[in-house]
Amino acid sequence: MERIDDFANHDRRAFLQQTACGLGGIALTQLSAENAFAANTNPLAPRLSHFKPRAKNVIFIFMSGAPSQFDLFLPKPEMKRMHRQPVPASFLQDLDDALIKGSAQVFASPRKFSKHGECGMDFSDYVPHLATCADELCMVRSMHTDVSNHHPAQLVMNCGVPLFGHPCMGSWVTYGLGSESSNLPGFVVLLSNSGEGVDGGSTLWNNGFLPSEYRGVNFRGKGDPILHLSNPSGVTRHQQRARLDAIRELNQLRFHQTGDAEIESRIASYELAYRMQSAAPELVDLSHETAATLEMYGINNETTQWFGSNCLLARRMVESGVRFVQLYHSTWDDHSNLNTKLKTNCDMTDLPAAGLITDLKRRGLLDETLVIWGGEFGRTPMNEVRRGNSVGKEGRDHHPFAFTMLLCGGGIKGGQIIGETDELGYHPTKDPIHVHDLQATILHCLGIDHERLTFRHQGRDFRLTDVGGSVVSKMLA
């Protein structure tokens, strides 16, 4: 205003003739400054990928605790013949694994398997709904990881290393690509009401050393989507806006004094929370979904209701531009009473997961949405004996050497099985795929070169795949 007042006494026509360009420059400078600050305070603005992507979004259905591949996806006829027999001596040679030594006996799955789809993919009778998606799915039977304890293995799958304080996959993806949603977080986490917590907890959706705006945001399927998101009683939206404007100005002053990037993150978080106050309640309102859609996800069934709601919310989120949605369901850690516990989890999750894939496909979203289903490792081919399990109450121990994961959608070639294992399903014999290979392939589908997506921290360039990983070309469409 001071500059305008200085010119107030000049002849109006002369002023316009002599300073039009100057005013244009002033306006341009002001707009540039505003845009620059907006860019700085909108770290989730969409960014260009390294190359043309096949997928725009990711939905990762993480089955915490490790589902048994032998009882869901991996029929092993040889195990039927060897049932209850000691593990063959050939497996004990040159094998430093205490789980398979001593009194370990082969435990063949009691489940019934059948082939589904034109591709003839194997599924057990516990997952009949996922089986209907066989021709969309890529089943990887040769996954392997580095550790066999839940929390560190979950960190490897989600963060690339078995260490605290590293960014998770959702954080890396939103750091690299931003988000297409202006009113919702770029990375959302949905937890299942299974009565069991996730071993790794919030370390699995943590931003680590990346700026805090890339942390996963927990949504609830009922009530307020995010706790404390609503205004306190008596505070109007106008008052909330005025308060945030004052806080933003104070934060801007502090940022210009210190240059602390976390201040920018704080500004962005406050602004996003304000926008979410309208967007989030609308997102979780399922009343406008058709009865057929609700039935597809099992929303009206007490057993499938919670996980089904999360799956439906995941679809609505990717429709709204959310980049990365992660669903957690716990726990599949069946050391005993495997038949009963496994059925309980499958009854809760099988229909909704299949409904999500089917719904994405019918809406034309599956081609651009990468869906992943799996846990941190697998289960052993032996009955776990350390707990004295009786017949019918058997369980399986942790198994990091060969397990199964499912993928479909954006960039993935469906209707195929990748990888083979030995007669006991103990080790891969063809196409072994490490967790880092899986992560590199997921990033590739999103148009990201996993070796170029880095962040410098404590003098080193870190990345999701640590120092390994190769894109699995067989998985790609």
Instruction: Give tens-digit pLDDT for 124-182.
Output: 999 999 999 999 999 999 999 999 999 999 999 999 999 999 999 999 999 999 999 98
pTM of the model: 0.85
- 370 in a structural domain: yes
Tens digit of pLDDT for each residue in 265-302? 777 766 666 566 667 778 888 999 999 999 999 999 99
Cβ-based neighbours of 311, under 8 Å, separated by 6 or more = 61, 297, 327, 352, 353, 355, 356
Q: What is the DSSP string of 360-399?
A: HHHTT-GGGEEEEEE-SSEE-SB--TTTTPPTT-----EE
Q: Considering the chain, what percentage of its residues have pLDDT values greater than 70?
A: 82
Q: How confident is the model at residue 25 (pLDDT cuts 50, 70, 90)?
A: very low
CB 240 within 8 A of CB 276: no
What's 428's domain CATH number? Answer: 3.40.720.10
CB 397 within 8 A of CB 427: no
Mean pLDDT of 312-336: 96
CA 375 to chain centre: 11
**What is the rounded CA–CA span in Å between residue 97 and residue 364?**
47
Q: Largest Cα–Cα distance of the chain, in whole Å?
A: 103
Of 30, 53, 67, residue with least CA distance to 343: 67
- 314 in a structural domain: yes
- 231 in a structural domain: no
Phi, psi of 440 (to 5 degrees): -60, -35
Give the pLDDT confidence score for residue 30 in this predicted structure. 39
Q: Same domain for 26 and 91? A: no
Give the pLDDT confidence score for residue 29 in this predicted structure. 37
Of 429, 431, 420, residue with least CA distance to 75: 420
Q: Same domain for 18 and 110? A: no
Phi-psi category of 159—alpha, beta or left, where left has phi over 0 and alpha has psi -120 to 50? alpha
Q: Considering the chain, what percentage of its residues have pLDDT values greater than 90?
A: 67
Q: Is the pLDDT of residue 194 over 60?
A: yes
Q: Same domain for 321 and 393? A: yes
CB 391 within 8 A of CB 358: no
Q: Same domain for 32 and 171? A: no
Q: What is the count of structural domains for the chain?
A: 2
**What is the rounded CA–CA span in Å between residue 228 and residue 277?**
10
Q: What is the mean pLDDT of the chain?
A: 86
Query: Which one has a higher pLDDT value, 113 or 25?
Result: 113
Q: Same domain for 176 and 32? A: no
Domain containing 170: what range? 54-223+287-475
Looking at residue 467, its amino acid is V
- 108 in a structural domain: yes
CB 313 within 8 A of CB 326: no
Q: Same domain for 34 and 58? A: no
**What is the rounded CA–CA span in Å between residue 122 and residue 411?**
22
CB 448 within 8 A of CB 455: no
**What is the rounded CA–CA span in Å between residue 337 and residue 436?**
32
Q: Is the pLDDT of residue 250 over 90?
A: no
Mean pLDDT of 385-414: 88
Alpha carbon dihedral 435, 440, 444, 445, in 10-degree steps, equals 10
Mean pLDDT of 348-372: 98
Question: What DSSP state is assigned to residue 230?
Answer: S
